[in-house]
Chains A and B, each alone.
Chain A
Amino acid sequence: MINEAIIRKGKRIAQKTFIYAVLVFVAFTILIPFYVIIITSLKESHALATHIPFIWFPKFGELSFRAYGNLFTSYPVIETGKSMVLTGIGNTFLIVIPTTVVGMISSSVSAYAFAKLRFWGKNFFFSALLFTMMMPGIVMLIPSYIIFDYLGLTDTYFPLMVPAMFGSAQCVFFLRQFFSGIPDEVLDAAKLDGVGYLGIYWRIMLPLSLPAIFAQAILGFVAGYNDYLAPLIYIVSEKKYTLQIALQFFSGGNLKDLPTVMAGAVMAIIPTTLIYVFAQRYFVEGIAITGLKA
């Protein structure tokens, strides 16, 4: 009997050890490429550094921030003489922040209407919205470009900002689920107090659903920050480059200088990774809910 208990306990320990071993192995597989770009970015930066040997643990004295200096000083924008990477960071925030804020307002008022108001054609409009979620974005790539180009809107931020400011179907869908969970009694009480429809949205729905809205705003911000294809197609002038386009242009011109290119990659990753680590609960919830219910 005692033997059996020991065997069972031993089996359980072996099982857990195996589980941890596999998970730690996978975690390292994910993390090591990140580690490699970070140590590479901290190497002495030379113009011809493609053949620097691979070192897992460089000595502390060998580390240098010169690549980061390079990143911000070399390759200025021709028209302005300012650092291309810094210009890119500024432009990205200029584009992404207003777009995310306005887009969130559009999506959330729409979600509020679908969740709580009764109006003609509600089901039809909602089906129409769901249908747009299924349409692959790729069909719009060419015609949108031609139309924007014809209207003289290429090399402006219009195509990067205005369409997204109308909100997204995914976001409406997610927030509608959330808003539906807010009890009608709360709204009825407000109505009796003479609060209008917009007042209910502003004073009740919005404060009660800040975490959900925040979650969607974070996802929207990260997507906008990381966007590559749209600015690649629409933006021509260097001074209007977003960070991602600036970094890609920069890497292409500095391929021989690995530390500087990697410093660029680290720069591209830092803001989104920080946001993600601190707000990871929102990410996971947002994805688990929209993912499973879409």
Chain B
Amino acid sequence: MQNNGARAQRAGKKILTENFYGIVLACIPLVGTVLFMFLPLVFSMVLSVSSMKGFNPENIEFLGVANLFDNYKYILKDELFWKSVGNTFYAALSLPISMVLALIVSVLMNADIKGKTLFRTIFFLPYVCSVVALTSMWRLVLDTNYGLLNELLGTRINWLSNEKTYMPVMILMGAWTSLGFNVILFSAALTGVPKTYYEAATIDGAGWFKRFWSITLPLISPTVFYLLVTGLIGAIQDFTRFQAIGFGTTGPNNAGLTMVYYLYQQGFTNNYTYGMGYAAATSWIVTFLIMVLTVVNFKVSKRWVYYD
């Protein structure tokens, strides 16, 4: 009996130690989350229903219950905000372009060819480069006199100074940069499609398009969906390359002002005219948009994504 009690005690102590280590070790990242994410998040909520000019939080003033959503109302009436929404979704066109190209490239790479690793390495190269390097590079590619694009087209267009040409070239740059990432994920998904499926379909007389449409696409649809969701979430937050390529300007007639750029300007460039309350409210609108898109995506995906 005594022996049993001692054993139980020892077992109890062991469970306690395991609990102690488990909680302490597991929660290190969560402590960071609480300090650097949860607190700012709560502050941001308060800020979005307050008025505050400049950076000093001692100047914060609650808008009052009657005017609780004034910041939100102001932004939703601001033409510049809606322009930034339009620009953001226009810029997001690089996502479908990049995905379609990446799918074509990945399907071709899935054939029995040599040099796959080399191709993959090259395609992914832009992804490891900093935004500063990439924008320097593209400023040169798009240069009026010296640029590669004008050289190839035989034109002398100042792409980044014209409101009409600004976004198309930024879309091109976006697709060029993100191609490799999509290729890696599509390639991983394609290697998971059993070769026997194709063989069976070929025996049944299915052409390559039929095989692609009824075998490949359904089987890789989870990846298509994943890339669409994460790509869209990324596209809504697209901002640094626009800031860097124009050294803090927003492009001709604000053609490069994306939603996050708009919020950045409110917070850091024009914080005395706009105020931090507006900036915080804008960031919640952007967040809300991201969440809605994510939920809609998940709902819609149930109809066409094939999970086995």
Contact = CB atoms under 8 A, between A and B. Distances in A.
The secondary structure that dominates the A interface is helix
Given A117-B25, A146-B55, A248-B247, A287 B185 contact: yes
A233 interface: yes
Contacts of B202: none
A166 interface: yes
Interface in B137-180: 137-138, 140-141, 143, 145-148, 151, 176, 179-180
A128 B30 CA distance: 8
B129 A113 contact: no
Given A150-B56, A291-B185, A34 B41 contact: no
Interface residues of B, number: 96
A140 B36 contact: yes
Interface in A104-161: 106-107, 109-110, 112-114, 117-122, 125-126, 128-129, 132, 134-147, 149-150
B117 to A, nearest CB: 8
Contact of A119 (B18, B28, B33, B226): B18
Task: Bin the interface of chain A by size.
Answer: 35 or more
Given A19-B108, A121-B23, A283-B128, A150 B33 contact: no
Contacts of A140: 36-37, 40-41, 44
Contacts of B141: 33, 36
Nearest to B26: A113
Nearest to A166: B32
A141 B283 contact: yes
Nearest to B177: A30
Given A19-B113, A106-B28, A225 B105 contact: no
Given A138-B286, A197-B18, A226-B131, A145 B33 contact: no
A266 B40 CA distance: 37
Given A122-B26, A143-B40, A284-B184, A229 B240 contact: yes
B44 A33 contact: no
B27 interface: yes
B108 A23 contact: yes
Nearest to B188: A288
Contacts of A248: 132, 244, 247
B93 interface: no
Interface in A229-258: 229, 232-233, 244, 247-248, 251-252, 258
A54 B146 contact: yes
Nearest to A225: B130
B276 interface: yes
A252 B132 CA distance: 11
Contact of A27 (B30, B39, B119, B176): B119
Interface in B263-303: 263-264, 267-268, 276, 279-280, 283-284, 286-287, 290, 294
Contacts of B90: none
B130 A113 contact: no
B233 interface: yes
A30 B230 CA distance: 23
A32 interface: yes
B29 interface: yes
A198 B23 contact: no
Given A26-B123, A228-B130, A287-B184, A142 B283 contact: yes
B72 to A, nearest CB: 14
Nearest to A40: B140
Contacts of B267: 141-142, 145
A141 B268 CA distance: 10
A129 B108 contact: no
A182 interface: no
The listed residue with most A CB atoms (<10 A of its CB), out of B40, B124, B230, B237, is B40
A217 interface: no
A52 interface: yes
A24 to B, nearest CB: 9
24 contacts: A26-B123, A30-B123, A37-B137, A52-B146, A109-B28, A117-B21, A119-B18, A139-B283, A141-B267, A150-B55, A163-B32, A166-B32, A166-B33, A226-B131, A228-B132, A228-B244, A229-B239, A248-B247, A261-B136, A265-B137, A272-B129, A273-B129, A292-B185, A292-B226
The 8 A-B pairs at the shortest CB distance, nearest first, are namely A166-B32, A119-B22, A226-B130, A117-B22, A113-B26, A143-B40, A265-B136, A113-B25
